[in-house]
Each structure stands twice: as structure tokens, then as C-alpha cells.
């Protein structure tokens, strides 16, 4: 995931509190993205880990 600052207008870079705020938000977005990717992996037998029990029940 890229830095969220690139999506903001340049005048936000002059606000002292914003790097800390955006840094925290960026960490949350990266964690959410990783969680989404992990859930999507459970939809395929080849990449499923904790979702294998569901696939076993179905098959």
C-alpha cells in the first residue's frame, strides 16, 4: 500500500499534526488490506488455511 499523503492536496503537508495522523491511518489501511487479502485467499482450496474446514464440509 502506498503512502496516503500522495492522495491529499499539498497544503496538508504544512500542517504539523497531519504526518502523525496520516501515518496512523496508513497503518490501519495496510492492516485492513492484509486482512481482506487473507479472507480472499480462503475462497480457493489451493490458498486456504483457516478456511479449509469449510471446504472439507462442503466437499
- What percent of the chain is modeled with pLDDT above 90? 39
Structure confidence at residue 30 (pLDDT): 92
Sequence-separated contacts (24+) of 24-27 with Cβ below 8 Å: 26/1
Q: What mean pLDDT value characterizes the chain?
A: 88
Residue 21 near residue 3 (C-beta atoms within 8 A)? no
Between these two residues, 3 and 35, which has the higher pLDDT value? 35
d(CA 43, CA 31): 19
pLDDT at 1 over 70: no
Is the pLDDT reported for residue 42 higher than 60?
A: yes
* Domain boundaries, given as residue ranges, for the chain: 17-58
Q: Please state, in angstroms and rounded to a whole number, the distance separating the CA atoms of residues 51 and 15.
A: 44
Amino acid at each position: 500500500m502506498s503512502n496516503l499523503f500522495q492522495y491529499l492536496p499539498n497544503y496538508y503537508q504544512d500542517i504539523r499534526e497531519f504526518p502523525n495522523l496520516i501515518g496512523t491511518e496508513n497503518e490501519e489501511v495496510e492492516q485492513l488490506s492484509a486482512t481482506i487479502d487473507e479472507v480472499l485467499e480462503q475462497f480457493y482450496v489451493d490458498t486456504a488455511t483457516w478456511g479449509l474446514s469449510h471446504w472439507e464440509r462442503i466437499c
